[in-house]
Amino acid sequence: NVPDWQPIVYPNNPATVYAQVSIEGIPAQLNDLVGAFVNNECRGTGEIVLIDRATAYSTILVNLASDGELVQFKIYSYANDAVYPVQETLTMQTGSVYGSAENPVVLNGTFNIVLTPPQVNLVSHQNTYRLTWNAVPNANNYRIYSCSEPYGTYQLVHTTANLYWEIPTTQQKCFFKVVAEQIGISKGK
């Protein structure tokens, strides 16, 4: 079930990442694969090269649509037939080089990712209100909770993959919180 990561190519010089690759702290193996993504769009892949069976390296050419894109990584383990997200992200520039043979970027795939809380805003939108928040690296879904008081028990009111939620006009005055989550991390994703 090797993932079908087909990088999108843009007419810019790609960025280059020289990486040391591990999964749960153990060096990646031959047949494992590294993928670079911007908003879940594949922008580059790299194969694993082993040095003395103790260190795994990969060179990844990352295609960027524009400077300043936030690049996330995933590692496919052939032995486990599973895709591991990587906590580390890079904000990249076209044509730039990240890492080197002597000082590679460290990419560790793990299912134990800590997601940062999103920054939530309340905005007026077309005669109603909308909650908006920033994208959280490695999150692909958001849960919205509400409560009538700030320190009370919050109840789940909605889930979405979007970075906003239209507050229903029937919603009573209340407090909200948004929790980022990563769902659907499984084999072959």
**Structural tokens at position 146:** 């509400």
CATH superfamily of the domain spanning 120-181: Immunoglobulins (2.60.40.10)
Question: Mapping DSSP to helix (H, G, I), strand (E, B) and coil, where does residue 28 land?
Answer: coil
Does pTM top 0.75 for this prediction? no
Question: Mapping DSSP to helix (H, G, I), strand (E, B) and coil, where does residue 49 land?
Answer: strand
Residue 84 CB coordination number (10 Å) = 23
**Structural tokens at position 46:** 């790299």
Residue ranges of the chain whose pLDDT lies below 50? 186-189
CATH code: domain 15-109 is 2.60.40
As annotated, the residues of the chain forming the CATH 2.60.40.10 domain(s) are: 120-181
Contact 75, 87 (CB under 8 A): no
Report the b/e string of 157-174 with b at 16+ CB within 10 A. Answer: bbeeeeeebebeeeeeeb
Contact 44, 6 (CB under 8 A): no
